[in-house]
A and B are shown apart, each in its own frame.
Chain A
Amino acid sequence: MSDTQNSSTAVSNPGATSRTFERITHEFMHIWQVIAALVLIYLVFFVLSPPFRSFDTMLSIFGQASILAVLACGTTVVLISGGLDLSVGSIFAVVGVSVGILLSEVDLPVWLAVLGGLGIGAGLGALNGIVQVATGVPAFIVTLGGLTAYKGLAEILASGRDLSRFPDAFQVIGSGYIVPMAIMFAAAILTGLFLTKTRLGIRAFAIGGNEDVARLAGVPVKRSRIYYYMVGGALAALAAIMEVAKLNFAMPARGQSYELFAIAAVVIGGTSLFGGRGGVGKTLIGMLIMQTITVGLSYMGVGTSYQRIAIGIIIIVAVYWDVWRRSTR
């Protein structure tokens, strides 16, 4: 395919030419396979459905993907570190309701309400992490408990309250497609920089890859894990703030199953469910694949229930593909 790439590697390292070449093309191929899958899926709908062919449709795919994509950036961090957070959908609900209360009842300035919401999300995420490292109960169970408990908390907070009609300055956060898209890209870039350029971020890959090696090498594994769950909670909170601003109301039923959509996008993008590998770029592409299918199918008149079946099948195909890829390595 690209002999130039091969020969340039050979110059720098004659000893390991073929393996380096294999490795580089392997990683390179994978992200391109996912992008190719996205383009292919887009083209299929482009051919099949005339109304799908507009720029507005493309924009709406990005726009609809943005809120879940922000949440999924946090999920990416947690999964890379070998953790799992099933409670982010409920954190989303608590934060949505809390920000609604802060704005409409406490009358906080918008920026302070937003900060408060982010703080609550980070705090609930941290609580997931603290309970895990303190008790040794597996992430699946602790965050499954969190899923239920935080949902109950959101319902208690919201009961008897009308949380709607927020200040214009707040509604801007969720209005149209451009602002949410800008927030999505900003969140993805910052999360990406965190994962690749900072000490805490790169340690997520080591902890997810082999926790014992990381601990013996002197990495404070427990403390680091708590931080990753905090990041996950804060990004779930940001997503919640975006949605409350967009809908102009808050209710505890929002966020249901979002954790599963986020995990699906992360996995479709190619981040490992078992930790140690992945990235937010992949997650964005995975989220776009999911949204393209959802939007495309609804343009073709396929109902929501059938869309869910389609997404379910794609998740399994994506993981099968990943397993197959690893076995042929």
Chain B
Amino acid sequence: MAAQPVLEARGISKHYGGIVALDNVDLTLEEGEVLAVVGDNGAGKSTLIKALTGAIPRTSGTIRFDGKEAHIETPTDAKAAGIETVYQDLALVNEIPITQNVFLGREIVRDDWLGRLFGVLDFKKMDREIRDLFAKLDIRITDIYRDAQAFSGGQRQAVALSKTVMFGKRVAILDEPTAALGVRESQMAMDLVRSLKDHGLSVIMITHNMQHVLNYCDRVMVLRLGKLTAVRKVSDVDGDTLVGLITGTIEGDVRDE
């Protein structure tokens, strides 16, 4: 691990009035790794991700990206830095086609006066890029003009994950990518997550599935009651230990400085 981390967050806290949802959490993401974030319900996993990507304002904490101080205050800042996030339940708009979902917020306008003056879109170019992307990731969706709600949970997740390859230049953050999926679909989604590495992405992934942590991730950080309690290499840990750390029956070893 000679290379510097892609993402380095220090002292991330989030208070809602008097309630401390996230208390002084540090996070380091190394280049090309898949980092799992685990913890019980209410442990602060989603809050951590939202605070990292500017979806909610942080109470305190600093973020360094590629060793430099990064000002990530809104989701747009995060995207500009090369961080692409797939939110649970908030990944796709049901009512619009797959094509429009993939490019939502980053539609390509025509390279002529119609595009510059009226924002007329270059549908041909966007369709071509989506077909190339799906071919590259082996996503077998051909009818890209159908509304998102017509697809299965697994297909929808595949589309959402494909956006991280299309736009996430450095980091993909995934909030429970297999939450709503069946066994076979989960496996397909996780294979896709692992392939994100090959496309130059480092991955942070929230999950409840210990098998996915052990089979697909490189390191794991455990949150409990808003605090970071342990960080482990996956090769140094087993499922029982992880469950113990999550529930608190095994004492963590990360202390406040």
Contact = CB atoms under 8 A, between A and B. Distances in A.
A200 interface: yes
Contact of A206 (B100, B121, B140): B100
Interface in A164-217: 197-200, 202-203, 205-206, 208-210, 212-217
Nearest to B142: A13
A216 B85 contact: yes
Contact of B120 (A197, A205, A208): A197
A217 B95 contact: no
Contact of A218 (B90, B95, B105, B109): B105
Contacts of B96: 202, 205-206, 209, 276
Interface stretch (A16-24, A258-266, A281-289): A16-24
A215 B90 CA distance: 10
Residue of A197, A200, A217 ringed by the most chain B CB atoms within 10 A: A217
B94 A210 contact: yes
B interface secondary structure, majority:
loop
A209 B150 contact: no
A314 interface: no
A20 B120 contact: no
A23 B100 contact: no
A209 B106 CA distance: 17
B109 A199 contact: yes
A130 interface: no
B16 to A, nearest CB: 18
B121 A198 contact: yes
B150 A218 contact: no
A15 interface: yes
A202 B90 contact: no
Interface in A266-299: 275-277
B137 interface: no
A219 B118 contact: no
A135 interface: no
Contacts of B150: 19, 23
Nearest to B141: A16
Interface in A102-146: none
Contacts of B87: 213, 216
Residue of A200, A203, A216 ringed by the most chain B CB atoms within 10 A: A216
A15 B90 contact: no
B146 interface: yes
Chain A contact patch, size range: 20 to 34
B250 interface: no
A325 to B, nearest CB: 14
B231 interface: no
B166 interface: no
Residue of B92, B93, B109, B142 ringed by the most chain A CB atoms within 10 A: B93
Nearest to A210: B93
A23 B85 CA distance: 30
Interface in B127-154: 140, 142-143, 146-147, 150
A206 B148 CA distance: 11
Nearest to B74: A218
B254 interface: no
B55 interface: yes
B210 to A, nearest CB: 28
A195 to B, nearest CB: 12
A15 to B, nearest CB: 7
Given A198-B119, A205-B95, A219-B105, A23 B90 contact: no
B104 interface: yes
Interface string A215-245: 1111100000000000000000000000000
Nearest to A26: B150
Contacts of A275: 95
Contact of B93 (A197, A206, A218): A206
A15 B105 CA distance: 30
B143 A217 contact: no
B55 A216 contact: yes
A193 B79 CA distance: 29
B76 interface: yes
Nearest to B108: A199
A218 B76 contact: yes
A227 to B, nearest CB: 11
B106 A15 contact: no
Interface string B198-216: 0000000000000000000
Contacts of A305: none
A208 B100 CA distance: 14
Nearest to A80: B95
A12 interface: yes
Given A206-B95, A214-B104, 15 more contacts: A198-B119, A199-B107, A202-B96, A202-B100, A203-B107, A205-B96, A206-B93, A213-B87, A213-B90, A213-B91, A217-B104, A217-B105, A218-B76, A218-B105, A276-B94
24 contacts: A16-B142, A20-B143, A20-B146, A23-B147, A23-B150, A197-B120, A199-B107, A199-B109, A199-B120, A202-B121, A205-B96, A205-B100, A206-B93, A206-B96, A209-B93, A209-B96, A210-B93, A212-B90, A214-B104, A215-B75, A216-B75, A217-B106, A218-B76, A276-B93
Interface of A: 12-13, 15-16, 19-20, 23, 197-200, 202-203, 205-206, 208-210, 212-219, 275-277
